[in-house]
């Protein structure tokens, strides 16, 4: 500690973003002098649209020392092996975007290159037959591999589907057990330092002032500090991602929950289906330029698999990102930093990544511009990479049955995405060095699933003996199938290890104060 060390950190807003930040900072900034205060108002509801995640959240929970079975039980969670896409490439079609790899490489040649070579020789099953996650999901199976588990079971990667409000509650108790102070109150104003325009304090509705050195804006789309006070600016991506509304409603589970999320494309958007232990999350993401709110709600309700449990909730948003995720002494996390819609379940990962990058570049009161600049550069790169991947789903389609899909299919796309598509279309090349999200298998699954078929494959694939490759591929396929068939169903696994319990039982059964 020195005279420049951050003494007071103020988190503006709760919800998933606020309590993820509070939990992480209470764990990694437990230095004896940095006080963490979170201000939230029960009058202001949270969005809570995203309930599905991607595998990096496992790392986040492990870093906090959270017991996975207890976390899944407390959040009424299920396990997620990937996303099933219905009606995206064309009406009546479906494909699976799995976590983990397709097969494994042979002598340095990527599996998908060998698969494409074989497909030129003979009729082949869909590439998903060579994915442990896809095959297990198809059979409704799940089991948790140990870190040192060998293939084919070791190729099973997973994430979670859970109640986001219960996750926020879970992390709140974790953070408060480690000294985070929660203040109930609605922020009505903020005071800027005259000398440099940094935020000095926030003012609550009852007149209280909360001073801080560093402020974390988790106030949602409003961007209470990052935008309303600092006027940072917003980069609008509606041209590429035209959906601007969502309607969410939970319904009763029609049966045992599936170990995957489903995204079904409709005439002016798409519908999510996220099975939890106690209910199913549903929502319709759509473009108000192509369908009315009432009609969008009718489409959603007509496609529910169980009885609705609440009244539908309507949301509006603008896809894009804040021009600076970190401006002066304010760092935005969650919806206040941007929104790239929930199609590939990236919202919680963006929060997690923002927290990790802030810890790695944590400032002192001097706020070195190079630290802020590096943070903004890394977050911009992450946002834009996710943006390109999401745009791919809309643009790579054969659908011409509605004005919405005609626009998506024919729209101009970012040069960065056009380059990726052309590289793949030529010889199925995918370069993901330097990116921590959506590896080669993800791009291959969506490209092939939505009819971007390579003209050829990489020449090194021809150096491997055809019979040997054919035998190896068949051995892999059978290995994945036999392993999946031997696994328990997800319902059986959950019943044995992490069945949900009433939320009020959470604190009685788990002592957050004793966690490492």
* CA 204/CA 371 separation, integer angstroms: 30
Helix (H/G/I), strand (E/B), else coil: 315: strand
* CA 415/CA 420 separation, integer angstroms: 9
The gap between the terminal CA atoms of the chain, to the nearest Å, is 23
Task: Clarify whether 80 is annotated catalytic.
Answer: yes
Query: Which residue reads 């969670």 in tokens?
Result: 77
The tally of CA atoms less than 13 A away on the side-chain side of residue 474 is 6
* CA 326/CA 233 separation, integer angstroms: 12
- Cα torsion for 24, 26, 32, 36, to the nearest 10°? 110
Query: Which residue reads 């290159």 in tokens?
Result: 113
Helix (H/G/I), strand (E/B), else coil: 367: coil
Angle at 227 between CA 343 and CA 272, to 5 degrees: 15
Across 137-173, b (16+ Cβ under 10 Å) vs e yields: bbebbbbebeeeeebbbebbbbbbbbbbbbbbbbbbb
Angle at 202 between CA 196 and CA 203, to 5 degrees: 130
Query: Which residue reads 């694939």 in tokens?
Result: 461
Q: Which helix (H) or strand (E) holds 393?
A: helix 369-395
- DSSP symbol at 204: E
> What percent helix, strand, coil does the chain show, rounded to 5?
40, 20, 40
- In order of 4, 10, 379, the CA distances from 356 in angstroms are 22, 17, 11
Which residues sit opposite 322 in a β-bridge?
A: 234
- Render 412-476 in DSSP notation, one character per residue: ---HHHHHHHHHHHHH-----TT--SS-HHHHHHHHHHTT---S---GGGGGS-HHHHHHHHHHH
Exposed, middle or buried by CB within 10 Å (0-12, 13-18, 19+), for 513? exposed
Judge if the upstream peptide bond of residue 152 is cis by omega within 30 degrees of 0: yes
Q: How many CB atoms lie within 10 A of CB 428?
A: 26
Q: Which one from 80, 229, 357, 420 is the annotated catalytic residue?
A: 80
Give the active site residues: 80
């Amino acid at each position: 500690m020195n005279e420049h060390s951050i003494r007071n950190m103020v988190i503006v807003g709760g919800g998933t973003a606020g309590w993820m930040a509070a939990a992480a900072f209470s764990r990694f900034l437990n230095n004896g002098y940095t006080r963490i205060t979170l201000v939230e108002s029960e009058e202001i509801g949270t969005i809570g649209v995203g309930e599905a995640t991607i595998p990096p959240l496992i790392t986040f929970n492990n870093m906090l020392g959270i017991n996975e079975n207890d976390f899944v039980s407390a959040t009424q969670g299920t396990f997620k092996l990937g996303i099933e896409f219905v009606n995206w490439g064309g009406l009546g079609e479906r494909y699976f975007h799995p976590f983990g790899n397709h097969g494994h490489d042979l002598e340095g040649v990527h599996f998908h290159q060998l698969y494409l070579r074989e497909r030129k020789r003979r009729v082949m099953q869909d590439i998903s037959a060579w994915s442990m996650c896809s095959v297990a999901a198809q059979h409704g199976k799940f089991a948790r591999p140990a870190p040192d588990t060998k293939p084919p079971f070791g190729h099973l990667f997973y994430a979670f589907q859970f109640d986001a409000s219960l996750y926020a509650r879970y992390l709140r108790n974790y953070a408060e057990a480690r000294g985070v102070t929660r203040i109930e109150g609605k922020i009505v104003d903020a005071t800027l330092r005259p000398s440099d325009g940094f935020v000095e304090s926030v003012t609550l509705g009852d007149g209280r002032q909360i001073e801080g050195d560093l402020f974390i804006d988790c106030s949602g789309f409003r961007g209470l500090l990052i935008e309303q006070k600092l006027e940072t600016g917003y980069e609008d991506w509606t041209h590429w991602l035209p959906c601007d509304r969502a309607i969410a409603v939970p319904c009763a589970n029609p049966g045992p929950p599936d170990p995957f999320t489903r995204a079904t494309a409709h005439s002016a958007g798409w519908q999510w289906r996220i099975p939890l232990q106690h209910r199913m999350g549903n929502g319709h993401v759509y473009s108000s330029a192509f369908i009315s709110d009432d009609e969008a709600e009718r489409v959603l309700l007509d496609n529910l698999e169980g009885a609705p449990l609440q009244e539908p909730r309507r949301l509006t948003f603008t896809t894009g990102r804040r021009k600076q995720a970190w401006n002066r002494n304010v760092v935005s996390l969650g919806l206040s930093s941007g929104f790239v819609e929930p199609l590939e379940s990236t919202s919680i990962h963006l929060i997690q990544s923002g927290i990790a990058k802030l810890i790695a570049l944590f400032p002192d009161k001097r706020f070195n511009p190079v630290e802020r600049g590096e943070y903004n550069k890394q977050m911009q790169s992450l946002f834009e990479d996710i943006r390109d991947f999401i745009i791919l789903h809309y643009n790579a389609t054969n659908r011409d049955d509605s004005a919405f899909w005609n626009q998506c299919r024919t729209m101009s796309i970012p040069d960065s995405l056009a380059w990726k598509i052309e590289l793949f279309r030529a010889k199925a090349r995918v370069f993901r060095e330097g990116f921590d999200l959506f590896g080669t298998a993800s791009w291959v699954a969506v490209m092939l699933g939505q009819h971007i078929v390579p003209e050829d494959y990489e020449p090194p694939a021809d150096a491997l003996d055809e019979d040997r490759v054919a035998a190896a591929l068949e051995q892999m396929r059978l290995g994945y199938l036999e392993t999946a068939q031997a696994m328990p169903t997800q319902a059986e696994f959950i019943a044995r290890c992490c069945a949900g319990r009433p939320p009020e039982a959470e604190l009685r059964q788990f002592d957050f104060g004793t966690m490492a």
